[in-house]
Structure 1
């Protein structure tokens, strides 16, 4: 049997400052100290009708019910029970009967405005409809598979809600996305003092990288380096021209694209020791050149020059009529001749009346198709040697990383 003592059990309706103070005892009058870790609620009835449940607070041996939670109750007498719940068990105080308190009418009361049989859930519904004092105090995530739960309490005049929501099950693994593609967009040259920039844009596996790169500071000009660059540019231009010439390769030495004067008894020899052993029987060769001979005829001669200073029978002995501007002829190297070919432009006149006689762009090549003049590739090699010398003066020409010297 539990006993109880109730203090401040009389107050007027809508009084929010009164507190019903309840002390519980054992049947031998020993105070019962409420366990604050348990769940305590006050349940109120009026005569034979249930009204609702209300929150309480615990202070030492005293359980308190604030009149601020009872403002909706009309005047009259009420019964009160305390419900203690812990580990699924519930204890109701007192063991028999109810604890009584009374709400008195205030000056503004009009009977019938509040239904005394409305339970606390109806009161909460009214609060929700009115949109008054509703507050979500927490949203908690529960483990997957837990049961969703919403708890509600009225505290300090607020209708406080706490949502406990289980997290969803782990979803299925998504499909593998496309392999990313990265392409270089714009590359902007920045001033030397600017900071490099990089901007990545795009999506769905396709991205573009735009960059800004500062240019280097202008260095001092080195005369030897400038000379090397000029030679390199010249050689590069000649190689490019050969590639664009349709395949013709000049096998003649000492040719030039500049005009060369023809003096009395002058002759032009197109071969050097490099090609002494190049001519082959049955092979066809073509010679073409630009020639100016205002009044006198000139002669092209091709012969086997194996015996120095001795002219054997000419393979070609072709006259060039005075005034010709461009001349071209084709011949075949015969059997029984050595590989030493001599090509000459002969002036057999002994007088000195050859002002204005000159030639340029002599092209000796294999085959029957004449191409525009280009220098002999071996002669280009000599220019490359000059380039290497210039580079060595700049500190080049060192051993390669593998330890072998470059012979390019």
Structure 2
């Protein structure tokens, strides 16, 4: 049975570091029907991120209002948020009753955001960019740094009177080598205004273009039909919230055990936007799909799959899925947060300092 976990309509979707009064309201459903949780022995919120499991927090059952409708109120303890740096986190709800343990959702965990407060940092920040792109820009910038001025050419001597041709004399000694000019210097202002760095800044300002906004797409996603019952299931979560009116492009590969149809949906706070133009029949040969859509409301949860009357014997497998800003589809790549490591950051910092810059 497909279990789902979603935010209630009035619930916030993000919380600031140190805020222990913001409450998430969550709804547990089974086969799209709310679950009566009044008989639960305990309810635990399990929290993790892309590196794995972090910790669990008990949900208070003292206030049972809403439990019969599958509603859960989750208020983070201060100690929890103090230990969570700003970023994206995953959430599961574990319900323990007399029948055993039920985990919501059945598919990908629900995503939420921890944002920084004014005390979380200070000073100028540097935007994360792909390490390879940064190295190329650094190399290009180094080539633009001016070298020392070349010394002036001395005056040409007066030409002597031609004399009779005599025997060839011995080769004279090689004269001393002239002094090398001073190496040019560059300060931080000069470094940041170099053409290559201006190009890099432009790339940073537009870094979301071509970036995969979905998480964990390096794993294939498969779903099996359930006869004549239409069903939807979460596929991949978003790494950032997308505002209403945003134009995005979704691309992916799909292959099915038997020819059947499907629809992809971006799931948002108010029901999401149907990408009906992807409504197609997929066969047993892998096929590449691309669709561009303008979101009709903001989307913060991820991408969902909707199956139409798929036999239980049919399995559709999706791979190389990418959601990006704009109307142009580019080759698949993982989300930048799944690429850049602490070692990469250390190399970037060392490169900036070695060229006279600072963070």
Regarding TM over 0.5, the answer is no
Greater length-normalized contact order (CA 8 Å, ≥ 6 residues apart): 2
Higher strand share: 1
**TM-score category, normalised to shorter length:** 0.3 to 0.5
TM (norm. structure 1) is 0.30
